[in-house]
Amino acid sequence: MQLLASTLSVTRYRVQGKPAEPVMDTVRNGLKDQMIREIDNDPAQKSIGWTESARPFAPDFESAQFMFGNHLVFSLRMDKKSVPAKIVAKHVNMATAKRLADNGQSHLSKNEKRQIKDEVLHRLYTRVPATPNVYDLAWDMEAGVLWFFSNLKEANEELETLFSKSFRISLIRMFPYTEADLAAGLSDHQRDALKQSGPALFSGGGHA
Amino acid sequence: MLDVSVAYNRYKFLGHEFLTWLWYMIDTDFEALQKADPEMDALAIGNRIVLENHRHNQDETITIRGDGAGLEEGVMALTKGAKVTEMHLIFRAGELEWRFSVKGESLSISSLKTPQTAKLESAEDIEGAVLEKIYLVERVVKLVEQLYAQFAKQRFDPDWDNKVVHRIMAWIRQGPAAD
């Protein structure tokens, strides 16, 4: 489990709302509906879905234990395939030469070139295995707080999209503005001051 | 509520001010910081600090790293108007020690090393290990949140400019502890 690793990164979220009652059924169904789909031997380039933190490559949310104390612990898995551009170019070149020879043509139309490239990509992506990345999360439903164990921009964006799609509630990322506005316990007057604030100067050296 | 990406970019200066304020507080008023975690025995700058200065539209980044590195260059950068954008911290409570970095613009935590947890002997140990790890992560998350709340209450108080900013300016002029 990534959560048990010796070094972690944490991005903090507030969860806006609660899943529909019965909560655990809603969560389990959301996880099952959006569970990661394997794309090896498939032409898809990318697959994103939920998986079990303890068994990221054999998830089964029917039997999985993902409740730990007050926290739900599960993972976002992102599988991606990549084929180097030079390999794509080589195979497109070979397929183009074959098409020209087979049909006795001297050149191909724009549509034919596009069709060849699509066929080549389809074939190559079917053969290339996907590289998986697994990111754990811990969701305290009582507190309405979620920690995502990655600071990567793409992983966080995918989390926000998938979470909302799966559970029909949204995540608010906590950064300086949202933390001050929603969690720092400021008075209404202080929150107004927050909205109107600009950078302070701590030295005569100029704006920082 | 503002659009998220607009709010992120428009107010990221608050994260930089927070980390600069935190350096000032570590140096001058550790007792006040203990309100964030009454069991905290120490909070110190660790082995990396990044400062940025955007004055006169010229971006300057100063990175100080290494376990024995002094902060002289950082102090110099502060006097020129730079602010702290990233800070590695060491947090101690009793016999426990956490090491982690905070990035100002996102308040995200990285390179977090919690105190060691018990080794897993069997699958049945997983639940205990996860609960223990969540508790250890929570200590750091809550510390950062409480410190930021402490900063925010000062930052948006009418006394901010007249009192806190003046004290920070005086601290920078006189030269913060550089080790």
Residue A153, domain CATH: 3.30.310
pLDDT in tens, A33-62: 999 999 998 999 999 999 999 999 999 998
Residue B90 is assigned to a structural domain of this protein: yes
The answer on A184 and A144 residing in a single domain is yes
B106 interfaces chain A, CB cutoff of 8 Å: yes
Range(s) of the domain holding residue B34? 4-174
In a domain, B107, yes or no: yes
Residues A53 and A96 in one domain: no
B79 touches chain A (CB under 8 A): yes
Residues 6+ apart with CB under 8 A from A70: A140, A141, A142, A143
- Position A202 in a domain: no
pLDDT tens digits for range A59-92 = 999 888 889 999 999 999 999 999 999 999 999 9
Residue A105's pLDDT band (cuts 50, 70, 90):
confident
Say if CB B46 and CB B89 are below 8 A apart. yes
Measured in angstroms, the CA of A13 and the nearest CA of chain B are apart by: 10
Looking at the structure, do residues A75 and A33 belong to the same domain, yes or no? yes
Whether the CB of B170 is below 8 Å from some CB of chain A: the reply is: no
Q: Would you say residue A204 lies in a domain? A: no
Residues B27-45, mean pLDDT to the nearest whole number: 95
- Interface touch A151/B110, C-beta < 8 Å: yes
Residues of B in contact with A201 (CB under 8 A): 81, 165
Tell me whether residue B113 is in a domain.
Answer: yes
Which residues of chain B are within 8 Å of residue A69 when distances are taken between CB atoms?
Answer: 131, 134
Residue-averaged pLDDT of chain B: 91
Model pLDDT, residue B162: 92
Instruction: Report the residue of B62, B114, B133, B160 to disrupt the A interface, i.e. the one with the largest count of A CBs within 10 Å.
Output: B133
The answer to whether residue A43 is domain-embedded is no
Question: Residue A140 pLDDT more than 90?
Answer: yes
Judge if A191 and A104 occupy the same domain.
Answer: no
Structural domain of A149:
8-38+48-80+133-195
Residues A186, B156 contacting (CB under 8 angstroms): yes
d(CA B112, CA B119): 18
**How far B35 CA sits from the closest chain A CA (Å)?**
14
The shortest CB-CB distance from A206 to any of B55, B152, B168 is to B55
Please, are residues A177 and B2 in contact by the beta-carbon 8 Å criterion?
yes
Q: Would residue A57 count as lying in a domain?
A: yes
A2 in any annotated domain: no
Residue A76 lies in a domain: yes
Q: Which of A127, A151, A182 is the last residue of a domain?
A: A127
User: How far does B108 lie from chain A, in Å, by closest CA?
Assistant: 5
In-domain check, residue A205: no
Compute how many other C-beta atoms are within 10 angstroms of the C-beta atom of residue A130: 19
Q: CA–CA separation, A176 vs A61, rounded Å?
A: 35
Same domain, A28 and A56: yes
A67 and A158 inside one domain: yes
Q: Which amino acid does the sequence have at A86?
A: K
Domain boundary (A127, A143, A158) is at A127
Bridge partners (DSSP) of residue A147 are A12, A138
Residue B179 lies in a domain: no
Same domain, A114 and A152: no
Q: Are residue A53 and residue A115 in the same domain, yes or no?
A: no
Res. B178: pLDDT tops 70: no
Lowest mean pLDDT, pick from A10-19, A95-104, A119-128, B30-39: A95-104
Residues A72 and A152 in one domain: yes
Q: CA of B18: which chain A residue's CA is closest?
A: A176
A65 → chain B, closest CA residue: B127
pLDDT at B55 over 80: no
pLDDT at position A93: 94
Q: How many domains does chain B divide into?
A: 1
pTM of the entire structure? 0.91
Q: How many domains does chain A have?
A: 2
Closest alpha carbon within chain A to B138: A147
Q: Which residue has the higher pLDDT, B127 or B14?
A: B14
CB spacing of A208 vs B15 below 8 angstroms? no
Element at A158 (helix H, strand E): helix A153-167
